[in-house]
Amino acid sequence: MVHQIDQLVHDLDLASKSSNSKGRPIQRKFFIKNSSGMEIPITSWKFNEWDYEKQHKIKLLSLARGLFTMKCEDGHYRVVCRGYDKFFAVDETSMTKWSKICEDTVGPYEVSLKENGCILLISGLNDGTLVVCSKHSVGNRDDLTRNHATSGEKFLRAQLDNDENLLRELALTLYHNNYTAVAEYCDDSFEEHILEYDGNNAGLYLHGLNHNVENFVTESLDKVDEFADKWGFKKVRHFSEPALSGLLEFFEKCKLTGSFEGKEIEGFVIRCHYKDTNSPFLFKYKFEEPYLMYRQWREATKDYIKSGNKVRPFKFPKHKFITNKYLDFVCPILDKDCELCERYLQNFGIIKLRKLFLESYGMSGIEVLNLGKVEELNKQNAIDRGLIDKKTKFLIVPVSVIGSGKTLIANILTILFSDTWGHIQNDDIRGKDKSKLIQKSLELLQTKKCVIVDRNNHQFLHRKQIFDWISEFKEDYLPYDTNIQVIAAPFIDRDVISEVAKQNVERIIERGDNHQTIKLSKGGVKKIRGIMNSFVKSFQPLNTSVLPDCQFDYVIKGINVLQTNPSLENSKIIVGKIHERYPILIPNIPTDEEFGKAFKTCLSVRNKRAELGQNEGVQNDKGKVGKKKLSPVYFSANIEDTAQVCTAIYRLLRTSNLNDNDVIHKLFTNGKLKTPFHVTLSHVSGSKKGSDLEKKIWLHYNEVYKDAIVHASLSGKTKPVIQSQDYLSIELKKLLWDDKIATILVNIVNDKCVSHENSDGNNFLEKGLNCCNKYPHITVGILTEGVAPYYSNTLAMQYYSNTSKTDIECLEFPDPLPTIRAKVVINF
C-alpha cells in the first residue's frame, strides 16, 4: 500500500511538469499547523474538469476529485484526504446513459438525497490534528474572500462544542481507520446556494466515508449513518432499490414536483457496482426544474446589480416571462437598498428575495416546484399581442421582387416620419450572418417606433427566417413586455408577376447603375433578365392560411406596382392602410404636398448616392470611381472657449496647497495642455464591444446626424471634423491627476441631453444623446509621454472604486461649479 502511494505521488509530480496539457495534473502546496504548532506541507492534486469528462479517452493518474497527499517522517507518502471519483449525472456522458448504466452495473442501488452546499473533506494526522479541506484547498489563504475549508472547520468545532479532546479523538479515529469523511457544508449564514438551509437545517451533512487509498473505496451508507450519529453530523436520507426499473419509475414520479416527501431537493446520488469488477460506481440524477429557473433568477439579479447603470438583462434561456416578472418585482427593491445589492453579490439574501417574489404571487417555494405551475405563470405573463399601446413597436416586411420600388418607398416613409420610422436594407448587410438584418432592425427599434425591413422576402423560407430571428434576438434589444406587430407589405401576387417582372426589368435598365447591387454596366441587360427570371421562378406569394405567413399581424392590401408613378402612389396606400389599422403609429396622414416633397427629396438623395457610390471603388454611371463613404469614429462635446477652462483651473490651483514645483503646475506653465478640450460622448468602439446602452446611444447619434455624415462623405475630405449646431452645458467638478495624466471630471447639465434644433428651427432636448462614459471627463494633459487619452477613463474608475492606488491627486472645484458651453462635433 505504501509503495503504491509513493508511486502515485511520483507519477503525479512527473506528469505535472509535462508539456502535454491533456490529462496533466495541477499541484498546489498548502500548509496547516499540527498540534505542536509546526507548519505541515500538504499537496493538492487536481485535473481540469474537461479531463474528467474525457476520461474514457485520456488516461488520468487519479479520478479522485479532491486528493491531498503529504510526506511522512519516514520519507514515504500518504493520502491525507480523498474525495469521490468524479461522477456524472444521467445522460451527461456516454458512461451515464441509462442503457449503459443498465448494461454495466448491478444493484442494490443505494439512493441518497443530493444536498445543496459545498463539499468538505475531513481527516486527521497521527498527532490528532484535524484536517478539513474543500475539494482543492486547505488552510488559511489570503487570495480568497470566502474560505470554505476554514469556515467548515469552524462549524465542525462548534458541532463538537469546541471540545479539544473530542476533536482530537475524531481526528485520530479518522487517521487510524484511514478514512476521509465527506460532508456537504450547508449553511445560509455562510453562503447561500439554491436550496434553503437556515436554523436547524444548517449543518454538515455526512454522506461518505472514503478510504485514503489509490483506488476508490467507500463505506456503505448505513456505516456512514453510524459515524454521523456518533460525531454529531447531520445524516443524509437514503434508501435502497434492488432494480433499475423501479428506480427509474421512482425518479419520474419525483420529477413531477422536484421534491421528495415534501422536501425541496436538487436530485439524488446513486451508489452501485460494476458487474465485471464489483468496484463502486456512482452517478447523479438531477432535477432540471425549478433549479434552472432559480439559478436564472439569481444570475439575472447579479447581472442587474453589476451593470452599474442598472441595465436590465434581456435574454434568458428559458422561462422568459416569469423571469422578467421576477425582475419587475426585485429591481425596485434593489434600487433602494445598496447594502442588499452588496450582500447579494456575496451570495446573501438570494433565497429571501426569491421567496418574497413567490409570496407576492401567493405561492410557497414548494408550490412553484410543480412544473405545471411554472408553465401557468409563463402563460399568465405572456405578451398580449392584441394590445396596441404606446409601447408597441412595428416591423414592415415587404414581399417583392427587385425593381418594385420598395427601397424608394421606404425612403419616402422615413422622411415623412423621420422621428419615429427607420429603414434597414438587406443590401447593407455584409458577411455570412444574414440574421444581422433583423438584429439591426431590432436595434433601430430601440429609438424608433417602426422599422421597414428592406428585403424581397419572396419565398416562404425568407419569411420564416424573419419570424425565427425575431424570436431569437428580440430580447437582446428590447424589453420583454414590448409587443412587436409584424406587418406584411405584398407588392405583387402570382396573377401579375410576369407583367411586373417585365416592367421591372425595363425600370432597372432605365436606372442604369443607380442601384445598390445590380449594375447595368457590369452584367448588361442579359444578366438583369436572368436575375429577374430567377425571382419569378422561385416566387412564393403570401398565403396567410399557412405557416409562416399566418404569423403576420396585418397584411397591407392594395399595393399596385403597375400604376403610373407607383412609388409615390403606393406610399400613400401604405400610409392610409396603416393609419386605418394602427392610428397610434400614424395619427395623421401627410398632405399630398408633403408626400410630393418627400418623393423629390428621395430622388435627389438617390442621385447623390449614385455620385458617391455605396463603397470605395464602386463605379457610378459615368464610369468614375465614387468617393468613399465615411463613418464617424466618435462624437464629442468640444469646449467653445478654452480660456474659460484654463481660467477655472488657474483659480483652483491658486487656492490649493500645491507648491509651484508640483507636476500639475508644470503641466499648465509649460504649455502642455491637450487642447482643444472636449468630452467624448460616444465612440465607435462602444458600438462593437460596449453594453446594450452604449450601442443604443451610438446608433441614435448616427441617426440624428445622418445628413451631416452624408455631406461629409461628399466633401471629399479623408478625415473631416463636422461641427453641428447643437450644444450642451457642462459643469467642472473635480481635477484629477497621477503621474501619467490630468483630467477634469464633469457633470453634463440637462440630464445628459443635447440641445438639438429640429426641422422647425426650435431647440429641444434630444433624449438619448447621452454620454457613454460612466464618468464624463475632459483630458487636460498628458504627463507621461506615450500615455493614451483613454487612460482618463481608467483614472476616474480607480478614483471612484476606492482602489489601493494611492498616487491619485484630486482638487474639487468650489460651488457654484464653473459651467462651460460645448458644441457637439462629429469626428471621422
Instruction: Please check the confidence at residue 577 and state whether its pLDDT lies above 90.
Output: yes
Tell me, what CATH number does 705's domain have? 3.90.1740
pTM of the complete model: 0.52
Instruction: Please check the confidence at residue 574 and state whether its pLDDT lies above 50.
Output: yes
Which phi and psi (to 5°) does residue 99 adopt? -60, -40
Instruction: Please check the confidence at residue 139 and state whether its pLDDT lies above 70.
Output: yes
- Mark whether 320 and 418 lie in a shared domain: no
Closest CA to 553 of 611, 470, 429: 470
352 has catalytic annotation: no
Q: Looking at the DSSP assignment, which residues form a beta bridge with residue 496?
A: none
- Mark whether 320 and 399 lie in a shared domain: no
Instruction: Please check the confidence at residue 627 and state whether its pLDDT lies above 60.
Output: no
CA distance 759 to 422: 17
In a domain, 800, yes or no: yes
- Mark whether 484 and 349 lie in a shared domain: no
265 neighbors 281 (Cβ within 8 angstroms):
no
Q: What strands, in cross-sheet order, belong to the sheet with 238-241?
A: 238-241, 105-113, 267-274, 280-286
In a domain, 73, yes or no: yes
Q: At 8, is the pLDDT very low, low, confident or very high (cuts 50, 70, 90)?
A: very high
Distance of CA 809 to the CA centre of its chain: 35
**Percentage with pLDDT > 70 across the chain:** 82
Per-residue pLDDT, averaged over 230-256, amounts to: 88
- Mark whether 643 and 594 lie in a shared domain: no
Per-residue pLDDT, averaged over 294-313, amounts to: 80
Tell me, what CATH number does 582's domain have? 3.40.50.300
In a domain, 111, yes or no: no
Taking CA atoms, 510 is separated from 401, 507, 603, 605, in Å, by 17, 5, 14, 18
Tell me, what CATH number does 138's domain have? 3.30.470.30
Task: Give the least confident one: 423-432, 586-595, 697-706, 764-773.
Answer: 764-773
Task: Give the least confident one: 170-184, 334-348, 391-405, 520-534.
Answer: 520-534
Most confident of 342-351, 369-378, 529-538, 682-691: 342-351
Q: At 201, is the pLDDT very low, low, confident or very high (cuts 50, 70, 90)?
A: confident
Which tens digit of pLDDT belongs to each residue from 79-120?
Answer: 999 999 999 999 888 888 888 999 999 989 999 999 988 999
In a domain, 717, yes or no: yes
- Mark whether 765 and 801 lie in a shared domain: yes
DSSP 8-state symbol, 168: H
Q: At 525, is the pLDDT very low, low, confident or very high (cuts 50, 70, 90)?
A: low
- Mark whether 536 and 444 lie in a shared domain: yes
- Boundary (domain end) residue, out of 358, 380, 402: 380
- Mark whether 643 and 531 lie in a shared domain: no
DSSP 8-state symbol, 636: E
Instruction: Please check the confidence at residue 284 and state whether its pLDDT lies above 50.
Output: yes
Domain residues for the domain of 767 are: 634-827
- Boundary (domain end) residue, out of 235, 260, 283: 235
In a domain, 251, yes or no: no
Which tens digit of pLDDT belongs to each residue from 475-488?
Answer: 778 877 788 999 99
Q: At 273, is the pLDDT very low, low, confident or very high (cuts 50, 70, 90)?
A: very high
> When comparing pLDDT for 246 and 725, which is higher?
246
In a domain, 131, yes or no: yes
pLDDT at position 626, please? Answer: 44
- Mark whether 347 and 426 lie in a shared domain: no
- Mark whether 374 and 408 lie in a shared domain: no
Given 86, 114, 135, 474, the catalytic residue:
114
> How many structural domains comprise the chain?
4
First to last CA, the chain: 74
Q: Rounded mean pLDDT of the chain? A: 82
Q: What strands, in cross-sheet order, belong to the sheet with 393-399?
A: 421-425, 450-454, 393-399, 484-490, 554-555
- Mark whether 140 and 174 lie in a shared domain: yes
Instruction: Please check the confidence at residue 272 and state whether its pLDDT lies above 90.
Output: yes
Long-range contacts of 536-539 (CB under 8 A, 24+ apart): 536/401, 536/497, 536/498, 536/501, 538/458, 538/459, 539/401, 539/458, 539/459, 539/492, 539/494, 539/497
The three cell numbers of residue 472 are 431569437
In a domain, 34, yes or no: yes
Instruction: Please check the confidence at residue 365 and state whether its pLDDT lies above 60.
Output: no
Output the CA torsion 408→410→412→418 (10° steps).
Answer: -150
Give the dihedral sign, CA 318/472/442/404. negative
Instruction: Please check the confidence at residue 510 and state whether its pLDDT lies above 70.
Output: no
Per-residue pLDDT, averaged over 389-400, amounts to: 92
- Boundary (domain end) residue, out of 194, 217, 235: 235
- Mark whether 65 and 122 lie in a shared domain: yes
Query: Within a 10 A sphere around the Cβ of 587, how many other Cβ atoms?
Result: 8
CA distance 601 to 567: 13
Instruction: Please check the confidence at residue 253 and state whether its pLDDT lies above 90.
Output: no
Per-residue pLDDT, averaged over 632-647, amounts to: 87
In a domain, 738, yes or no: yes
- Mark whether 642 and 557 lie in a shared domain: no
